[in-house]
Amino acid sequence: MSMPRKPKNNPEIFLDRNINLRKDFSLPTPEEWREEAEKSLKGGSFEEKLIYRTHDGLDLQPVYSKEDIKDLKHMGHFPGFSPYVRGARVDGYIQKPWDICQKIDADSVEEFNQILIHDLHKGQTAINLVLDISTQMGQDTTTLPTEKYRGNGISISVLSEFSTALSGLDLKEYPLFINAGYSALPMIMMLVAAEKHRGDNLKVITGSIEADPLGLIGLKGRLPVSLESAFDQMGWVLKWSREKLPELKTIGVDVSSFHDAGATATMELAFALATGVEYINQLQERNFSVDSIARSMRFTFGVGPFFFMEVAKLRAARMLWVNVIKEYGGIEEAQKMTIHARTAFQNQTRYDTHLNMIRTTTEAFSAVLGGVDSLQTNAFDESFSIPDEFSRRIARNTQLILFNETHLHQPIDPAGGSYYVERLSSEIAGEAWTIFQTIEKNGGMLQSLKTGFVQNQVSRIKKIKQKDVSCLNTRIVGTNVYANHQEEKIDLSESNTENRAIYQRIERLRKFRKSRDNQKCDSCLKHLSLAISTDEARIVSSGAEAFLNGATIGEVSPVLNVPKTKSILIPTIQIERMSESFELLRFKLEKHTTKTGNRPAFFLVPFGDLSRYRSGADFSKSILEIVGFDIVFPDGFNLVEQAVESAAHSGAQAVVVCPDDVDSEIVLEFVTELKQRKPGMIMTMAGNPVKHRSKLEENGIEAFIYAGVDAYQILKSLMIKLRIFGE
């Protein structure tokens, strides 16, 4: 056994106490850095390899420096000071954190109330009463909705339902948020009626009961009243609330639906500005000041997966709103934008659904760094079920962890000073302002919705984004890459359980109408109509009295529609999750497999040198595995006869030829012989040949699989050939 060697006596090295790295190492110029970066690309283009172009048309650089922010006008300002890029409050979240404003889905107001009280005790800090479309349209639930109901919101037709939803809650302790639809009047009236019973002081209630007629008409294509009537009602609420509910906002600008429909960050910002300006113009025509209008507004943005883009978007929003209100002559307090954010629905998936937790976490993180005032984090399973206690807890705790464990409330504007974020905030603001100016030149947001300009812009970008998903340029983990076919299968078919809840509400409303004093109810509705024509100050109190005496929202709303004119019809925006196309293919294959007991298989046919065919074979395998095809991947072949024999006896319905040379004669020979041996075999090829492509297609090659190809279209066409799609 050898003895360990003694360590050598190396001389000790001491660093100079006055070390100066700047002196010892020269700082490279941007030009020198780029030169070295280009060398590492080995002939590749700097612009193509290292610069990322967003769907907004912005070029994101690989490196940012102090030079990139030296000309930015918004730099040098502190949090709480105009232009509020760094937040509207001097102390950020230290004294008042953002409101945890979770959506609660339930089949009844009783269940909603129980869940809400439970969740408030578990860390939720605000009441978010999300109404269903019927209630937002001022209609009673009397028939099943034409759209899928699940997750649509809570139906409230009568005062008892409103009171039950908020029963046992202290509105002085928790802010109340209600997106009331085209008009806030019915919900305001119900609140006044409910508080009359409880004797609470309305002036201490905070939050918002907001009307957003342009947001609703963009989703539905119409309103139950004319827009003129909707704007009149917005004015009636604003006039009344300034005295009775001074801390409650009543005007909503919700552009999160545009986000979920595919709009870019700059489009979403521009639409928010244009909608806000439309409301200011309409209300100024009704003799309201810009200060009173702006201070009653609450903006809602969607927050997607592009982390730094979302942070910068929210910072840019505050900066641009300052510009708008300044142009109207508004005071500094009116220039502050109140921002609510909701994590993206379009980013959710129905497969590998627990990944939605990660998506929601990064989106919530960016929202908080962007300085939101309130935040809703979506449940991971909301796209296919009503969230249960577990999924609600995970969504809520995402925010609680950001607050209590990540301590995001302690640093004031943690993104401030970042060369990247500051530059990006400025560029987003510039591009959004350009789009906003285009909308204004077209006559404003309302006119741009009427002509379809806004919808067409969103649709154009949506198609580009969908193409990126189809071609795998945008990767959705668990859906179009790394699909997990071992997970528990989910049922994507329609369910009738939610319809039963609607039938119960319809029956309850029918019994309620029979039990009330109809004569007294009709008298109250007439008094409300008289107040509209003679004394606007009595509209809210008269409406509250009508609800106290049994009126329904479907009876009150038509009375408020003065003048009695119809709504315009406009093209709607279409909300669609980006993963839906691939999910449908996978669902179809699972359904086919369950029905037939047979999962279609592809037989890979590698030819030649393993090191050369492996990448193409692996890529083809990954594409086919997206939807769940079985893959048979044998060792490579050198002889055509051997490959044909193996493919013919493999039991597979399709083959993928994987040559080491896409233009090799052996591929054409194999395809020709296999076609003769197995005429019904579906044939594809890994790679993009030039020399024999037309001949290969003539001999039955259905698709060529290579990087950049439209994977969705290839999979769909193969499933049609296999008689799977359309079943």
Q: What is the pLDDT of residue 353?
A: 93
Taking residues 436-448, what's their average pLDDT?
A: 97
User: Domains of the chain (ranges plus CATH)?
Assistant: 99-451 (3.20.20.240), 580-721 (3.40.50.280)
CA atoms 330, 336, 338, 342: torsion sign = positive
Q: What is the pLDDT of residues 361-397, one digit of tens each?
A: 999 999 999 999 999 999 999 988 889 999 999 999 9
- Looking only at the bridges linking them, the beta strands covering 682-686 and 654-659 are parallel
Q: Which of the pair, 692 or 152, is modelled with greater confidence?
A: 692
Distance between CA 76 and CA 575 in Å, rounded?
Answer: 40
Q: What is the pLDDT of residues 595-641, one digit of tens each?
A: 999 999 999 999 999 999 999 999 999 999 999 999 999 988 989 99
Q: What is the pLDDT of residue 150?
A: 43
Q: What is the pLDDT of residue 145?
A: 56
pLDDT at 425 over 90: yes
Q: Which two tokens stand for residue 456?
A: 């067409």
Q: What is the pLDDT of residues 12-51, one digit of tens each?
A: 776 667 777 777 778 888 888 888 888 888 888 888 889 9
pLDDT at 330 over 60: yes
pLDDT at 727 over 90: no
| DSSP class of 704 | E
Q: Which of the pair, 277 or 16, is modelled with greater confidence?
A: 277
Distance between CA 363 and CA 279 in Å, rounded?
Answer: 29
Q: What is the pLDDT of residues 201-219, one digit of tens each?
A: 788 899 999 999 999 999 9
Q: What is the pLDDT of residues 487-506, one digit of tens each?
A: 776 665 544 445 667 777 88
Q: Are 380 and 353 in contact (CB under 8 A)?
A: yes
Q: What is the pLDDT of residues 545-560, one digit of tens each?
A: 999 999 999 999 999 9
Q: What is the pLDDT of residue 341?
A: 98
pLDDT at 112 over 80: yes
Q: Which two tokens stand for residue 567?
A: 């709504």
User: Who contacts 185 (Cβ-Cβ below 8 Å, separation ≥6)?
Assistant: 211, 233, 236, 237, 539, 540, 543, 560
pLDDT at 650 over 80: yes
- The residues facing 100 across adjacent strands are 375
- Looking only at the bridges linking them, the beta strands covering 374-376 and 99-100 are parallel
From 545, 670, 540, select the one nearest 607 (Cα to Cα): 670
